């Protein structure tokens, strides 16, 4: 589980660096698909990751809109602010938590049951999916996207592979 | 690990059904980003998944090009053909295999070491990333994309959550 989060954080950092080279108008331009823009997507990824981690802990989640975060610096600052709590939860993740149950009541009264393991994987897949959208938009503005490769990032310490 | 593969296969099946409602010209149209088209992307996902599973087993992998698979039926038939072997490998995956080492010699002579766990996660992330690209192209042709949600697909049997 942790490796996939490390992958997402690593790729996200690469995208922040990629954004530094792009005109802010391009980062804010409303585009087709997803949540409709590059910076908005990064904001959305941060928001969703943090919100689910908060929900699993029974804490209130984030309610702000993208309107207050329309610059790369503001989005990165929000990420920095949330990351500590997210990282701590992920670092302390244990396989014993897999089948913990999250029970939520939907607006229509239905009760939905997800396991914590499903929620964590949902968060992982959510980010990768949205990053895939960024890769199309990058090409639309004539730029090479960040690599989506998981191998080659040194996510598993080489010492562990040396056996 | 298995849950993420189940998610990918489930989402992929949803995309095949989505494709059934779309004109084949749209499925074959060369688009910006990724491997450049909807059906080509699905072919590429199948190819890459199977190839890595073959490589881990020390077997020769797939060398054909998309040229021979330019219809939804042909792509699905290829998927059916490969799926049995992929599914068996995934079903038999065990955490003890995580740190098995895959050593590959690159064309420039460099030796690259990845753990099997990294390779499996690479395959998972690869598909989700490319499916994100499909979601943008779906909107470009005015269609609602398949949901990328992992929760709500019943991937973990409810009996397991009932504790």
- Alpha-carbon gap, residue B88 to B27, rounded angstroms: 30
Residues of B in contact with A161 (CB under 8 A): 99, 101, 113-115
Mutation target for B interface from A128, A160, A162: give the one with most B CBs within 10 A. A128
Indicate the residue of A32, A118, A132 with minimum beta-carbon distance to B129.
Answer: A132
**Chain A residues within 8 A of B132 when measuring between CB atoms:** 34, 128-133, 135
Number of Cβ pairs < 8 A linking chain A and chain B: 139
Which residues of chain B have a CB within 8 Å of the CB of A116?
none
Contacts 24+ apart (CB under 8 A), B5-11: B5/B90, B5/B124, B6/B155, B7/A121, B7/A125, B7/B150, B7/B153, B7/B155, B8/B49, B8/B124, B8/B127, B8/B128, B8/B131, B9/B83, B9/B87, B10/B153, B10/B155, B11/B127, B11/B131, B11/B146, B11/B148
Confidence of residue A16 (pLDDT cuts 50, 70, 90): very high
Cβ proximity of A104 and A117 under 8 Å = no
The neighbouring-strand residues paired with B104 are B112
Predicted confidence (pLDDT) at residue A161 exceeds the cutoff of 80: no
Neighbours of A17 (CB within 10 A): 9
Summarize pLDDT for A67-126 with one digit per residue, the tens.
999 999 999 999 999 999 999 999 999 999 999 999 988 889 888 999 999 999 999 999
CB B146 within 8 A of CB A140: no
CB A12 within 8 A of CB A82: no
pLDDT tens by residue, B137-146: 999 999 999 9
Contact across the interface for B151 and A117, Cβ inside 8 Å: no
pTM of the model: 0.95
User: CB-CB: which of B150, B158, B161 is closest to A125?
Assistant: B150
Q: Which residues in chain A have their CB less than 8 angstroms from residue B119's CB? A: 151
Q: What is the pLDDT of residue B158?
A: 60
Per CATH, the number for B2-153 is 1.20.120.450
Residue-wise pLDDT tens digits, B21-78: 999 999 999 999 999 999 999 999 999 999 999 999 999 887 789 999 999 999 999 9
């Amino acid at each position: 589980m942790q490796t996939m989060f490390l992958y997402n954080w690593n790729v996200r950092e690469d995208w922040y660096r990629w954004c530094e080279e792009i005109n802010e108008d391009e980062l804010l331009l409303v585009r087709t698909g997803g949540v409709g823009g590059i910076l908005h997507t990064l904001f959305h990824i941060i928001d969703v990751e943090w919100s689910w981690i908060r929900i699993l802990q029974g804490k209130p989640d984030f309610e702000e809109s993208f309107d207050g975060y329309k610059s790369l610096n503001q989005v990165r600052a929000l990420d920095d602010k949330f990351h500590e709590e997210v990282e701590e939860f992920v670092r302390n993740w244990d396989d014993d938590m897999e089948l913990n149950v999250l029970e939520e009541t939907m607006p229509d009264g239905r009760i939905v049951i997800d396991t914590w393991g499903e929620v964590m994987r949902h968060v992982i897949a959510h980010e990768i999916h949205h990053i895939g959208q960024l890769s199309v938009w990058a090409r639309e503005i004539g730029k090479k996207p960040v690599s989506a490769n998981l191998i080659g990032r040194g996510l598993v310490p080489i010492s562990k592979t040396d056996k």
